[in-house]
Amino acid sequence: MLPSKGYRTYRGRTSKGKIALGVLLVLIIFAALTVLAMQRYIVYDEDGRPFLRLPEREPAEAPEELPPVEDEIDIDIDVIIQEPEEPSVKAFSLTATPLTGESWQAARAAAGTAYNTAVITLKDIEGNVYFASETAVRGAVQVEDDTMEALSAVTGEEGLYTVARISCLLDPRASRSDLNAMGLKNTGGYIFYDGNYTTWLNPGKEAAREYLCGLVREIAELGFDEIMLTDTGYPTEGKIDKIDYESEGSPLAGNLCLLWEALRKTLEPYDVKLSIELPETVITEGEEPVSALVLARAVSYADRVYTVTEMERAETLSSLTLEAEAVAENRVQAFVAELAAAPPAEWEGDFLLLSAPEE
């Protein structure tokens, strides 16, 4: 069936003129709105000509001013390094005889944990040397078959501090072996005998100092932590007025310092302490002219000072020793009282029992 006649819906293209007219109308409206918005910024000059003045930007707020920075800031800070305190000395000693494995084991067992230090005599007042020394004069070395093994056990024990004691200038063997080079003479040119008929080395003679330094070097190589010098002054008994000190223009105390200084230098490569045993009177009086021992000089070289005394006087002697050290600004770290009997367990002072402890 054919469709009925009439108009159909028009689906043709929109006229270009109408599009252009629409765009123009939009532009006119935008321009008008822009003019209205800018009206408040239009001003006129003296001739009536309009011009546009846009609002000025407000300056940004200045940042808060910071305090000036110094180029260098010096801050003094006192840093105090607290050195660990050394444990108090609780020492025992063995008699002046060659050490053996058996004697050491017995003494160590009796000491137990009550003692932290062992003192072994390696050169006595007779000039005997109790280790296999290559420096000692002929006939001085006195050892047993296992002495060196026993000494190795002593120095090798972990946690045990070890001290080798040597009679320094009181040495009949070495002084007689070479009187001219090492011995202390009388005014007649012969060897000097003290009140006990024993003989001494002369610290003013270089050969005597070298002999002692050689022994000390060997002891340090054995592994001991400290070497204690006894009999380190001139003799005080016998016909003292008959001694030929052979020290023209050189004070006797200076000769002792020469010896102590030489021994300290010998020990420097080994990090071994040097201690000196002093008579009680040297500490209480400050010096002993006959022996030439002077407390202020001794503390310049000794890491520890030992003195044979009674327990009730130990605290006073310790105070006097440390006071002398403080004045001289020297090296003494402790005063050790050498006692005939062990003090009570609650006693806090440093001490050396002059014998092996009893079980």
- The per-residue pLDDT for 86 is 65
- The per-residue pLDDT for 40 is 63
- Judgement on whether residues 45 and 105 belong to the same structural domain of the protein: no
- The per-residue pLDDT for 67 is 58
Residue 79 has pLDDT above 60, yes or no: no
User: What gap in Å lies between CA 20 and CA 30, rounded to an integer?
Assistant: 16
- The per-residue pLDDT for 260 is 96
8 part of a folded domain: no
- Judgement on whether residues 223 and 279 belong to the same structural domain of the protein: yes
Residue 328 has pLDDT above 70, yes or no: no
- The per-residue pLDDT for 9 is 42
- Judgement on whether residues 253 and 104 belong to the same structural domain of the protein: yes
- 223: exposed, middle or buried (C-beta count within 10 Å: 0-12, 13-18, 19+)? middle
Cα 316 to Cα 87, 284, 286, distances in angstroms? 20, 9, 13
68 part of a folded domain: no
* Residues 292 and 233: beta-carbon distance below 8 Å: yes
* Residues 195 and 241: beta-carbon distance below 8 Å: no
Mean pLDDT to the nearest integer, 205-227: 97
Could you give the 3-state DSSP secondary structure of residue 122?
strand
Could you give the 3-state DSSP secondary structure of residue 118?
strand
165 part of a folded domain: yes
How would DSSP label each residue in 3-41?
PPPSPPPP--PPPHHHHHHHHHHHHHHHHHHHHHHHGGG
Could you give the 3-state DSSP secondary structure of residue 318?
helix
46 part of a folded domain: yes
- Judgement on whether residues 183 and 330 belong to the same structural domain of the protein: yes
Residue 71 has pLDDT above 90, yes or no: no
Position with higher pLDDT, 219 vs 78? 219
Mean pLDDT to the nearest integer, 287-314: 94
User: What gap in Å lies between CA 151 and CA 147, rounded to an integer?
Assistant: 6
Residue 344 has pLDDT above 70, yes or no: yes
- The per-residue pLDDT for 45 is 57
Among 123, 93, 337, smallest CA distance to 218 is for 123
Residue 10 has pLDDT above 50, yes or no: no
CATH number at residue 175: 3.20.20.80
* Residue span of the structural domain in which 301 resides: 90-353
Name the pLDDT band for 24 (thresholds 50, 70, 90): confident
- Judgement on whether residues 97 and 217 belong to the same structural domain of the protein: yes
Mean pLDDT to the nearest integer, 208-229: 98
- Judgement on whether residues 201 and 278 belong to the same structural domain of the protein: yes
- 176: exposed, middle or buried (C-beta count within 10 Å: 0-12, 13-18, 19+)? middle
Among 296, 301, 295, smallest CA distance to 282 is for 295
What is the SS3 string spanning 153-206? Answer: HHHHCCCCEEEEEEECCECHHHHHHCHHHHECEECCCCECCCCCCCCEECCCCH
- Residue 172 phi/psi, 5-degree rounding, is -60, -35
- Judgement on whether residues 274 and 333 belong to the same structural domain of the protein: yes
23 part of a folded domain: yes
Name the domain count of the chain.
Answer: 2
- The per-residue pLDDT for 37 is 64
Average pLDDT, the chain: 85
Could you give the 3-state DSSP secondary structure of residue 324?
helix
How would DSSP label each residue in 39-68?
GGGEEE-TTS-EEE-PPPPPPPPPPPPPPP
- Judgement on whether residues 106 and 22 belong to the same structural domain of the protein: no
User: What gap in Å lies between CA 264 and CA 275, rounded to an integer?
Assistant: 10
Name the pLDDT band for 333 (thresholds 50, 70, 90): confident
66 part of a folded domain: no
Q: What percent of the chain has pLDDT over 70?
A: 75
- The per-residue pLDDT for 358 is 76
C-alpha dihedral over 337, 340, 341, 346, to 10 degrees? -10
Instruction: Kindly state the tokens that stand for 119.
Output: 């003192």
- Judgement on whether residues 250 and 106 belong to the same structural domain of the protein: yes
Which of 6, 31, 52 lies at the terminal end of a domain, its last residue? 52
- The per-residue pLDDT for 11 is 42
- Judgement on whether residues 196 and 259 belong to the same structural domain of the protein: yes
CA-angle at 196, arms to 195 and 200, nearest 5°: 85
Residue 230 has pLDDT above 50, yes or no: yes
- Judgement on whether residues 32 and 131 belong to the same structural domain of the protein: no
Q: Which of 44-48, 113-117, 270-274 has the lowest mean pLDDT?
A: 44-48
Position with higher pLDDT, 309 vs 54? 309
Name the pLDDT band for 6 (thresholds 50, 70, 90): very low
203 part of a folded domain: yes
295 part of a folded domain: yes
Residue 8 has pLDDT above 90, yes or no: no
- The per-residue pLDDT for 160 is 96
Tell me which DSSP letter residue 141 carries.
B
